[in-house]
Amino acid sequence: SDNEILDMMVYPNPADGNYVTILSSVEGLKEIQVFTVTGKKVLDTVNNENTLDTSSFNSGIYMLKVTINGQSKISKLVVR
């Protein structure tokens, strides 16, 4: 159902700095998982910030899964 899909915006995308901003109208802790396109998990963290440090990521395309209060969304994240 639509209630289970998180309303979320990630920018800048492509990420060209050391972080991206994750904004959502849903309040709560963000459970963040980042995967490579081959499915390898490169990050699994929980934070209360609106920013995600991408400085350790190699250039490429990643899948970003964010879960807040049981609502999830997967977006593509490009790191330059």
Q: In degrees rounded to 5, what are phi and psi of residue 55?
A: -65, -25
Contact in structure between 23 and 30 (CB atoms under 8 Å):
no
Bridge partners for 22 per DSSP: 10
pTM metric for this prediction: 0.90
pLDDT of residue 6: 84
- pLDDT score of 3 more than 80: no
pLDDT of residue 4: 65
Closest among 24, 5, 13, 27 to 62, alpha carbons compared: 13
- pLDDT score of 5 more than 90: no
| Over residues 28-50, mean pLDDT | 96
| Over residues 50-66, mean pLDDT | 96
- pLDDT score of 1 more than 60: no
Contact in structure between 46 and 32 (CB atoms under 8 Å):
yes
Distance from C-alpha of 51 to C-alpha of 53, rounded to nearest angstrom: 7
